[in-house]
Each structure stands twice: as C-alpha cells, then as structure tokens.
Amino acid sequence: MSDDGSETARYAAGMAVRRRVLGDAHVDRAEAAKSDFDADFQRFITEGAWGSVWARPGLTPRERSLVTVALLAALGHDEELAMHARATRNTGASADDLKEALLHVAVYAGVPAANKAFRTVKAALAAMEQEDETSR
C-alpha cells in the first residue's frame, strides 16, 4: 500500500468514525489484539469500511447502522451483527429500528435468517441493558 496522503487521511477519518460508532473501548481492544499477521487487514477495513463508506455524507450514522445490521443479519454474520447491534447505542438507532430492519430481513432474506438475527440482536440488547443497570 502506498502512503500518498489520501490513504493517511482516509485512515484517520476511518479511525475517527470507527471510534464514534463502535466506541473507544472496542477499538482499543481491537488495536491491542492486532498483530503483524492482521495489521494490513485492520488498516484495510479502517480505510475502506470506515474511512471510505461510513464517513460518506449520504446517509446518517443511524441509517448506515440499520443497513449494516440488515446486511449482516441476511448473511448470517452473528458476531458482527451483535457488535453492530451494540453500536446502535452510538448511532442513534433504537431497538424498534432494529426490529423493523430485521422484519425486512425476514421478507427479503428469509425467515430463518431473521429468526437467527432476532435471537442475536435480542441477546445483544439484553447485555446492553444489563451493562446499563450495573453501571448505575
């Protein structure tokens, strides 16, 4: 990868968006776990997903969050789905928004995918609620 300045700016923008959406604690853990083996991949997703797509002005963070949740649910990527369900705390998407997105998944990607996604998101929301209760 060349470092022509635009990649550096895209990385910085991506890291800022990634932190805003996923939270500093999540990003700090991911960065701490990064190794020589996956460093290029981590840079790629920070620049590509976060710096090139999530940083675009066309959709709000809430809208991007819902699109992401629906896609991850449709594809059956539960770990990433749970992470993005937790990220709704930072993007402004509500539990009702998630429910509506998953109902779309049921129609367009199938009931089995949505059924699994509802379980995953329900567990993520319950964990978030428990975190909130213990931090009070």
56-86, pLDDT tens digit by residue? 999 999 999 999 999 999 999 999 999 999 9
Mark out the alpha helices in the chain (DSSP H runs): 6-22, 24-33, 39-45, 61-75, 78-91, 95-108, 111-134
3 compared with 17, residue with greater pLDDT: 17
Average pLDDT value for residue range 45-57 = 96
CATH 3.90.1150.10 corresponds to the domain 59-136: no
Contact 98, 69 (CB under 8 A): yes
Q: DSSP for 22-42?
A: H-HHHHHHHHHH--TTTHHHH
Whole-model pTM: value is: 0.90
Give me the residue spans of the domains in the chain: 1-56, 59-136
- Is residue 10 pLDDT above 50, yes or no? yes
In single-letter form, the type of residue at position 103 comes to L
Q: How many residues does the chain have?
A: 136
Supply the pLDDT for residue 1.
47
Residue 91 near residue 61, CB atoms below 8 Å: yes
